[in-house]
Amino acid sequence: MAAGILVSRLAGLVRQRVFAHYFGLESDAADAFTAGFRIPNFLQNLFGEGALSASFIPVYASLLARGKQREADRVAGAVGALLALLIAVIVLVGVVATPAFTALVAPGFTGEKRELTITIVRVLFPGAGLLVLSAWCLGVLNSHHRFLLSYLAPVMWNVAMIATLIWFGRGSQLPDLAVTLAWGSVVGSALQFGVQVPVVMRVATDLRFSMDVTSESVRSVTRNFVPVFISRGVVQVSAYVDAMLASFLPTGALTGLQNATLLYTLPVSLFGMSVAAAELPTLSGVATTDEGRTDALRARLDSGLRQIAFFVVPSAMAFLALGDIVAAALLQTGRFTHDDALRVWAILAGSAVGLLASTLGRLYSSTYYALRDTKTPLRYAIVRVVLTTILGYLFAFPLPRLLGIPMLYGAAGLTASAGIAGWVEMLLLRSTLNARIGRTGLPASYVARLWTAAGAAAAIAWMVKVAVPTPHPIVAAFIVLGPYGLVFVAVTLAMRVPEASSALKRFFRFSRRG
């Protein structure tokens, strides 16, 4: 799964680099596409990897764990048919009501910028529907422990967009290129869905699409879906509040926020989502079939938390101390300048505040879903959104004025406020779960060792950065980030952090297989 996510995210970074080359940071077309891209993407995130996986996988995986393949496949077919019908209706409504959605998400856009955003959204909506169906394929494949394809499939979507930019980028004006890129995204969505279907049909041999709402298992999925849907919706509202606030900041703030989010979500997806998604089917099976499930749950959860922290702590430190190197290496090309990279660094540093909390929170939420508890994550998601909204406004507008810094950096306040809210949510999830199944979490000594190692690695990397003349951004990344990673691993090995030696063994084993 981690390999699939890594390749997919790297393709996404290439896509964003090519986008930055043709659109830059401070252009109306870049902001319009970024805002337009968020609206149908809301549909994918709301229905797809969040609500659908959390409600469908526990039921489907538990049936497979009990050897009920035929019933499991019938449930998958019914859920797929119901989902397709629901998404078709939502896409139709979305295309018609696009102006209203645009006014809600980007109220600061006016004139041609707003009209361009509306056009882009209308093109993108059908593709978002296909991506939701792709998430249904992911749920089936993950339950059968087929992780690689479902997480490699988004590469097709990214490749379609990259090819569109390269083919049409030189000869198109920015507004026209933005619309063409939207059509390329729709083609990529169809490819992402299409490559998974044959394998789904092969592993789910009794799959039949039907509008079956009488099955108790299907009803269980729909009952679980509603609170998870609301919970995911609340989280997505938080992201859209950030986008709405950013639309009132100077041109470039919204695109800068999108660029930083893409970088920030790489470790979240690679380490947090991969561990949480891989554990969900297993946790669901344990919670269903093992009488001593609390012991098993605690063991699986604590192991996953340690794995996540080992990789996420150095990621957060890199974003905080070396974010300019990261942003320049991935985005500095064409219209995207070094000054733009520095602005993205500021936003990325703000996101480092809550990086660890966000990734740990994903695994805690998966544990609740495995226990068929979808209401507790919903309550705490609401708390997170309220905090994000209040703090986001204060950090994005009054604080920059108070500090006398350019308002463009208000976007960094948005990511920092989201990080603070993420910590509150994660601590609430942990506290409630501990009261239910016993003590879980990371030992303070373990976290301290990780931060100490990351700090030492950052200090060495910073000295290399200062000492070495500034080469090409990509070369600089190898020169600076290479020693950073090596020092972190060396220090954690010296501190006898078990995950360090385990990670090295897995790496060498994977290399030998390759």
d(CA 79, CA 76): 5
Last residue of a domain, one of 442, 471, 491: 442
What is the band of 61 on the pLDDT scale with cuts at 50, 70, 90?
confident
d(CA 105, CA 442): 38
**Domain of 356, in residue numbers:** 2-442
Kindly report, residue by residue over 369-409, the tens digit of the pLDDT.
878 787 898 889 889 888 988 998 999 899 888 888 888 78
Phi–psi pair at 333, nearest 5 degrees: -165, 150
Residues 38 and 183 reside in one and the same domain: yes
pLDDT of residue 285: 62
pLDDT of residue 286: 62
Kindly report, residue by residue over 465-481, the tens digit of the pLDDT.
988 877 788 899 999 99
Residues 300 and 397 reside in one and the same domain: yes
d(CA 181, CA 165): 7
Residue 107 vs residue 158, higher pLDDT: 158
Query: What is the arithmetic mean of pLDDT over 274-280?
Result: 68
Task: Name the domain count of the chain.
Answer: 2
Residues 33 and 158 reside in one and the same domain: yes
d(CA 470, CA 457): 20
Residue 513 belongs to some domain of the structure: no
pLDDT of 49 above 60: no
Residue 429 belongs to some domain of the structure: yes
Q: Are 110 and 22 in contact (CB under 8 A)?
A: no
pLDDT of 462 above 70: yes
Residues 237 and 151 reside in one and the same domain: yes
∠ CA 443-58-41 to the nearest 5 degrees? 85
Last residue of a domain, one of 390, 415, 442: 442
Residues 210 and 91 reside in one and the same domain: yes
What is the band of 250 on the pLDDT scale with cuts at 50, 70, 90?
confident
pLDDT of residue 513: 57
Nearest alpha-carbon partner for 370 in 480, 282, 299? 282
d(CA 194, CA 198): 8
pTM above 0.85, yes or no: no
pLDDT of residue 289: 42
d(CA 426, CA 380): 8
pLDDT of residue 455: 96
Residue 192 belongs to some domain of the structure: yes
Residues 476 and 355 reside in one and the same domain: no
Residue 312 belongs to some domain of the structure: yes
Residues 469 and 324 reside in one and the same domain: no
pLDDT of residue 47: 66
pLDDT of residue 165: 92
Half-sphere exposure of 494 (CA within 13 A, CB side): 9
Cβ neighbours around 44 below 10 Å, total: 21
pLDDT of residue 261: 80
pLDDT of residue 253: 78
pLDDT of residue 22: 86
pLDDT of residue 282: 66
Residues 291 and 265 reside in one and the same domain: yes
77-81, 177-181, 215-219, 376-380, range with the lowest pLDDT = 215-219
Residue 163 vs residue 16, higher pLDDT: 163
Q: Are 320 and 356 in contact (CB under 8 A)?
A: no
User: Which residue is listed with tokens 């998400």?
Assistant: 105
Kindly report, residue by residue over 301-333, the tens digit of the pLDDT.
898 899 899 999 999 999 999 999 998 888 888
Residue 101 belongs to some domain of the structure: yes
What is the band of 5 on the pLDDT scale with cuts at 50, 70, 90?
confident
- Alpha carbon dihedral 168, 45, 155, 271, in 10-degree steps, equals 130
Residues 406 and 471 reside in one and the same domain: no
Residue 229 vs residue 425, higher pLDDT: 425
Q: Are 79 and 207 in contact (CB under 8 A)?
A: no
d(CA 34, CA 18): 14
Residue 205 belongs to some domain of the structure: yes
Q: What Cα–Cα distance (Å) separates residue 445 from each residue in 442, 495, 504?
A: 8, 11, 22
Which long-range contacts link 498-504 to residues 24+ away (Cβ below 8 Å)?
Answer: 498/306, 499/306, 499/307, 499/310, 500/310, 503/310, 503/311
Assigned token pair, 74: 């019938």
Beta strands in 224-318 (DSSP E): none
Residue 511 belongs to some domain of the structure: no
Residue 300 belongs to some domain of the structure: yes
d(CA 514, CA 499): 22
Last residue of a domain, one of 405, 420, 442: 442
Residues 18 and 74 reside in one and the same domain: yes
Residues 260 and 220 reside in one and the same domain: yes
pLDDT of 81 above 60: yes
Residues 433 and 455 reside in one and the same domain: no
Secondary structure element (H or E) that encloses residue 71, with its range:
helix 69-96
